[in-house]
Structure 1
Amino acid sequence: MIPIAVPLLTDEEADAARAVVLSGWVSQGPQVAAFEREFAALVGAPHACAVSNCTTALQLALAALDIGTGDEVITVSHSFIATANVIRHQGATPVFVDIDPETYNLDCTRLVEAITERTRAIIAVHQMGMPCDMAALLPIARRHGIAVIEDAACAAGSQIRMNGAWEPIGKPHGDIACFSFHPRKVITTGEGGMLTTANAELDRKFKLLRQHGMSVPDTVRHNSSSVIFEKYVVLGYNYRMTDIQAAIGRKQLERLSELIARRRAVAARYVEQLGNVEGLRLPGEPHWARSNWQSYCIRLPERFDQRTVMQNLLEKGIATRRGIMCSHREIPYERANQRHDLRQSEIAQDRSLLLPVFPQIREEDQLHVTNCLKAELNRIR
């Protein structure tokens, strides 16, 4: 079986985790602090805060901005359901806008019509590692006084051209960027997340809220020569990352550029092998974006049935995934007031599929994927 994704973990990650286990300090501690410093330096962010996953990162972003009941947050339905769920969990209302079919990201030409007097934030998703058009989005948000949160779950290592220079996603172009370290992402800690920001006060709130609202971190108490009694100054959460995860993450960070180079090579081979297939739509990369190719999403011609193609590939030993889900089609959102047409989002879910992408995929296996896909498309023609 050729899987859709495989994390690249080596003895270095195993040794790093083992050292933490034997150190006696396995919860949030010095490894987490080091991971935060190194991640912030890598993306060019003044501040970084490690958490348990990207969902909790997004929720902390909304909480730190005091977004809650009565507020609206603009985002896309075409994203993993966590993007919408965190808005609901804060008591706010998600307002879905359609996507640009070229990038699978928020269509910025639809943004102004979605803004109301209740709009407090925009969650801009960098879907599948492809940067959202922040140069178009940010002026609109700033003009209306709206906060911008980047859902960069898939985008570690991706770059965007801003103000004439290539800059990493995570050097907060908006107010906050949130990352995931799930095993299907470019780098992984098993589970885990990170928030980056240029705002010191927001970073202080993240670090307070992730640890129960505790006034004094346990690392400070344990290293103090005098007794300290902590206080719980706000209603917080347990959204911490462990030192075991952070130690793995630090090793993953060291090879991020290598991982992305390999993924970009995989994407280039897909273009070479599938670029001339009639009617098959391959993902594009705008001139202002450099994707980490966390996923490689193709669009089937209209006459092909997505599920049938996927099933036939599975029977040939090739795992695929359907196009990115649409939250508004799921039960928790099916009765929500959908103000805007989401046609492109629905087409993308129904006609797209994700092909295997991981750094260690063998060229012969990738050729098997593309040959089987072409045979399947020819068979149905």
Structure 2
Amino acid sequence: MSTGLRKIPIARPTLGEEEAEAARRAILSGWITQGPEVAAFEEEFAACVGARHACAVSNCTTALHLALHALGVGPGDEVVTVSHSYIATANAIRYCGATPVFVDVDPRTYNIDSTLLEAAIGPRTRTIMPVHQMGLPCDLAAILEIADRHGLPVVEDAACAIGSEIRIGDRWERIGRPHGMIACFSFHPRKIITTGDGGMLTTSDPSLDQKFRLLRQHGMSVPDTVRHAARSVIFEEYPIVGFNYRMTDIQAAVGRAQLERLPEILDRRRALAARYAEALSAIPGLIPPACGPAQKPNHQSYPVRVTPAFPLGRDELMQALLERGISTRRGIMNTHQEPAYADMGPISLPHSEAARDHVVLLPLFDGMAAEDQAHVIECLHELASQR
């Protein structure tokens, strides 16, 4: 029996007839693996973010692995990054046999603290991999200046940052241009646009782009599209050991439809975030995310820090909201606190640990109704009065 309780999810992808028709088009074409839809999606994504090259892959974890592998990261190397990220960030480093070196985050932006970055660089450092956490852009100017001084490439984990922007001089540029050497994106359903799952690498370096394309398809020297269109018999070779990291044409077709929605999705998410920020300014003990004047986030998630000034602890608040039909999530995980990374020994990252333990992610998604957000805000006000 229904209780009549309003149910508000933490997130929900925006999918409709356009995506269904795009998938149908790919299915009926007879070409459902990596093919012409993937090529078109890559071209359109590159144009969207202002990149010279874009290479589609099966997910963002494989994108990060390919990026590091193509740069020659291997056993004995170190990659400077954050623990405060989904575990895939560090896993991609370990796939290469390298070691992640964790830097603490800024307590307001939840991104790598650039003032601590230089101290983490050592003789074995091969790459710096900042994360644009929850779509909040990193302080790329500071990161790139340090990287340039040390002669290190920057791989941006931009899994959550599709549509986020930074200001360069007097112009705004999208994350993924890229500003480092490579940027890696995710199309998981929790992200701004989705292909069910999927990823993308962007770069300005044509030789890196060619490496990605070779590596994603087993190291095959001749792509399927070229072989099938050839007027004479072609036999492929496998000059290197590659991976099966391809995106399908069905996924890419859906991605193209999603990409067309991106401007409207960003507008609605930013409007929802602005409404949250205004409401939270009147609720003591709840602190919204910080963003500088040179950063324009996409609000992939909406993190709120719960301080002692609020009458409930973070976990109590989450439970109280759940009882009112509102789904939330805890702050982003920390890899160094997970059993899989216990072999790294004790690591102290106080701001990362506090962010995990005292931050709640509120519901925010493109299709969120105004009355649903009003209900979330009303419940927060109600709970704030329980003293």
TM interval, short-chain normalised: over 0.9
Is the contact made by 1:147 and 1:175 (CA closer than 8 Å) also made in structure 2? Answer: yes
Q: Which residue of 1 aligns with 2:164?
A: 158
- 3-state DSSP of counterpart to 1:225: coil
* Residue of 326, 336, 339 corresponding to 2:334: 326
| Runs (4+) off by over 6 Å | none
* Residue of 17, 20, 28 corresponding to 2:23: 17
Say yes or no: does 1:129 pair with 2:168. Answer: no
Say yes or no: does 1:351 pair with 2:353. Answer: no
Is the contact made by 1:95 and 1:338 (CA closer than 8 Å) also made in structure 2? Answer: no
Is the contact made by 1:47 and 1:203 (CA closer than 8 Å) also made in structure 2? Answer: yes
d(CA) in 1 for partners of 2:12, 2:285: 29
Residue identity matched to 2:352: S
* Residue of 369, 374, 378 corresponding to 2:376: 369
d(CA) in 1 for partners of 2:208, 2:121: 24
d(CA) in 2 for partners of 1:191, 1:294: 16
d(CA) in 1 for partners of 2:263, 2:203: 22
Q: Which residue of 2 aligns with 1:43?
A: 49
Residue identity matched to 1:218: D
- 3-state DSSP of counterpart to 1:178: strand
CA-CA distance at 1:305 after TM superposition: 2.5
Q: Which residue of 2 aligns with 1:360?
A: 367
1:261-306 deviations in Å (ceiling 9; x for gaps): 0000100111222211112111122111000000100000137422
Say yes or no: does 1:147 pair with 2:158. Answer: no
CA-CA distance at 1:175 after TM superposition: 0.3
Say yes or no: does 1:170 pair with 2:152. Answer: no
d(CA) in 1 for partners of 2:170, 2:119: 29
* Residue of 331, 335, 344 corresponding to 1:336: 344
d(CA) in 2 for partners of 1:299, 1:10: 34
- 3-state DSSP of counterpart to 1:99: coil
Once the two structures are overlaid, the 10-residue window that deviates more, 357-366 or 269-278, is 269-278
Q: Which residue of 2 aligns with 1:113?
A: 119
Is the contact made by 1:172 and 1:196 (CA closer than 8 Å) also made in structure 2? Answer: yes
Q: State TM-score, norm by structure 2.
A: 0.96
Q: Identity of counterpart residues, as a percentage? A: 62
Q: State TM-score, norm by structure 1.
A: 0.98
Once the two structures are overlaid, the 10-residue window that deviates more, 126-135 or 308-317, is 308-317
CA-CA distance at 1:311 after TM superposition: 1.4
Once the two structures are overlaid, the 10-residue window that deviates more, 368-377 or 22-31, is 368-377
* Residue of 66, 72, 90 corresponding to 2:96: 90
- 3-state DSSP of counterpart to 1:94: strand
Residue identity matched to 1:85: N
- 3-state DSSP of counterpart to 1:365: helix
- 3-state DSSP of counterpart to 1:347: helix
Is the contact made by 1:96 and 1:338 (CA closer than 8 Å) also made in structure 2? Answer: no
- 3-state DSSP of counterpart to 1:125: coil
CA-CA distance at 1:338 after TM superposition: 5.5
Say yes or no: does 1:211 pair with 2:217. Answer: yes
CA-CA distance at 1:164 after TM superposition: 3.2
CA-CA distance at 1:163 after TM superposition: 3.3
1:138-176 deviations in Å (ceiling 9; x for gaps): 010011011100000000000001233211000010000
Is the contact made by 2:219 and 2:238 (CA closer than 8 Å) also made in structure 1? Answer: yes
Say yes or no: does 1:306 pair with 2:318. Answer: no
Residue identity matched to 1:235: V
Residue identity matched to 1:51: V
